[in-house]
Amino acid sequence: MELKGVLAYISWSHVNLDHIKGRYVPKLVVIESRSRKEIEVEMKPGQQLELMVIPQRYCIFRKPDGKYCLSPIGRLHVESIPFCERCYNLIPSIKCIVGEPQCKEEEAPKSIKCIKSGIYQDRCKVPRFHYFLAYPIGHNSVYIKVGIQRETTYPTRVLEQGAPIIALYAKTPNIWKGREVEVESRLVLEEMVGKSISGLRIEHASEKKRTIAMVEKLVRRRSSIASTLESFMEVKHEDIYDLVVRLAREVGHVLAERFRGYKLPEVKVIRAIDLYDMDEALLRYDRIEEITSIRGTSKFKGTVVGWLGSCLLLKEKGILRIIDLRRLRGCLINISIS
């Protein structure tokens, strides 16, 4: 198939984390150039892919009527949020988009922009899930990233970051309560840095995303496992991810008790590394390239190895490219899959 259009977003909304069945790839939602309709595309392991990316960004602000703006963007205010100047001025604040309310709950909606843009109805008043991601960064240490996601976009946010282990522990009713719990959760986790739980040391805790760096570490780990003698002999040994699951349960219970008024009926720990679809036989490579931004028209081709979150693993000869497609939202792309 061939498709040309603007990359709107990468979705994992088709995955039911309560009933995981097999492995999954995300759906790329592309606004087709001629019809301006949303087209969903899947890139599966083993497929041959040609991807051309044109760096000109187009506004993917979605209006209350559901239509995208799609105006060319001259100046990008925030790289991860490709809005044109006109749409940027329609919203009360870009911080409201990223989950940092600029008013108190009792003051909202503070501006007519809050209503006309749909921010107040579609973002501020929507319940939030609270979670943290656990990435092994050594033989006995982990990196923890605390996060929050609107109920209406769950589970895309938790899955797009490529974390091997995910733990959900609370649910808040709106952006204001959500931000309070998010900030305090980070402080609780920071107090746990340096402690060992289930044989693993918490090396670092943050609310900042380090997706591409963490994904590269996971790729190197999976590649190492796939090429060891143990994997061929099928020798059973305790997986580090099993240890991370135990740590996530304990840390999740600490957070759930801290926010007892919002805690879920039980802490939900997901071994997400097993649901990302990947052909590990293709994980042998000579070198890795990380693609997080595009400066000129770029073409990538090769065999799809699989996915870790929003990161596409594409292999061409001995080069394994990790392409963070979420960073390319708003770009004009041309896709050819065979």
Mean pLDDT of 242-268: 97
pLDDT per residue over 273-284, tens digit each? 999 999 988 988
256 or 292, greater pLDDT: 256
Distance separating alpha carbons of residues 271 and 221, to the nearest angstrom: 16
pLDDT at position 208 is 73
Amino acid at position 304, single letter: V
Could you say which DSSP state residue 175 is in? H
What is the chain's mean pLDDT, rounded? 90
The 10s digit of each residue's pLDDT in 259-314 is 999 999 999 999 999 999 999 889 888 899 998 888 889 999 999 999 999 999 99
Query: Quick check: 237 pLDDT over 50?
Result: no
**Rounded CA separation 306/135 (Å):** 19
pLDDT at 224: 67
Would you place residue 214 in the very low, low, confident or very high pLDDT band (cuts 50, 70, 90)?
confident
264 and 168 in contact (C-beta within 8 Å)? yes
Tokens of 317: 């000869």
Listed ranges 93-97, 165-169, 239-243; the one with the highest mean pLDDT:
165-169
Residue 100 confidence (pLDDT) above 60? yes
Question: Angle at CA 196, nearest 5°, toward 247 and 133?
Answer: 40
The position carrying tokens 């990380």 is: 290
Q: What is the DSSP letter of 280?
A: G
The pTM score is 0.90
Which range has the worst mean pLDDT, 83-92, 216-225, 277-286? 216-225
Residue type, 145: K
In angstroms, what is the C-alpha Rg of the chain? 21
- Tell whether the model's pLDDT for residue 232 goes beyond 60: no
* Collapsed DSSP state (helix, strand, coil) of residue 173: coil
Find all residues with CB under 8 Å of 68, minimum gap 6, and list them.
6, 8, 31, 36, 59, 60, 61, 62
pLDDT at 65: 82
List pLDDT tens digits, range 112-141. Answer: 999 999 899 999 999 999 999 999 987 889
Q: Judge whether 247 and 200 are in contact, CB under 8 Å.
A: yes
Pairing state of beta strands 38-41 and 27-32?
antiparallel
Inter-axis angle of helices 175-192 and 240-258, nearest 10: 120
Which of 268, 294, 116, 135 is closest to 203 using CA atoms? 135
Amino acid 319: pLDDT: 93
How sure is the predictor about 161, in pLDDT bands with cuts at 50, 70 and 90?
very high
Write out the two tokens for 237.
């040994």
Mean pLDDT of 192-198: 94
CA 262 from chain centre, in angstroms, equals 24
Instruction: Tell whether the model's pLDDT for residue 217 goes beyond 90.
Output: no
The whole-angstrom separation of Cα 312 and Cα 45 is 10
| Mean pLDDT calculated for residue range 12-35 | 94
pLDDT at 230 > cutoff 70 = no
225 pLDDT above the threshold of 60 = no
Return contacts of 326-329, CB within 8 angstroms, 24+ apart. Answer: 326/9, 326/10, 326/80, 326/160, 326/211, 327/79, 327/80, 327/292, 327/293, 328/7, 328/53, 328/294, 329/7, 329/8, 329/9, 329/10, 329/60, 329/80, 329/82
Q: What pLDDT, on the 0 to 100 scale, is given for residue 207?
A: 73
